[in-house]
Amino acid sequence: GAVVSQHPSRVICKSGTSVKIECRSLDFQATTMFWYRQFPKQSLMLMATSNEGSKATYEQGVEKDKFLINHASLTLSTLTVTSAHPEDSSFYICSARDYDGGAVFFGPGTRLTVL
């Protein structure tokens, strides 16, 4: 099956710093990528939808100035958590929609811990 990678898999940072998470579709082109966060034992919560070459569409309640999303190419999207605080600690997961077939593949996730 198609592969989506995320980097880093785990990051620990101090409060106030910014953290960038990369999401790559390794063997297919993805015009649309999605960013989620997930708290323990809870459902995936969609944060934003990013389309290659255009601005991301954020879900209600998600601060676009805090969670910066860039989808610069058909295989790469990045999420930057700016001025991270402990309440931003969570599991962040990206997914990518296969341009050809429509299936959506998820990355392995990034665990962010803000001290």
Partner 1 sequence: QKEVEQDPGPLSVPEGAIVSLNCTYSNSAFQYFMWYRQYSRKGPELLMYTYSSGNKEDGRFTAQVDKSSKYISLFIRDSQPSDSATYLCAMSGSGGSNYKLTFGKGTLLTVNP
Is 36 in contact with 45 (CB distance < 8 Å)? yes
The single-letter code of the amino acid at 96 is: A
**Shorter beta-carbon distance to partner 1: residue 34 or 81:** 34
CB of 79 to partner 1, least distance (A): 14
Spatial separation of the C-alpha atoms in residues 21 and 61, rounded to whole Å: 21
Contacting positions for partner 1 (CB under 8 A): 1, 4, 6, 32, 34, 43-44, 46, 49, 57, 91, 93, 95, 97, 101-109, 111
Is 106 in contact with 23 (CB distance < 8 Å)? no
CB of 71 to partner 1, least distance (A): 14
Instruction: Name the strand (E) or helix (H) holding 113.
Output: strand 110-114
CB of 107 to partner 1, least distance (A): 5
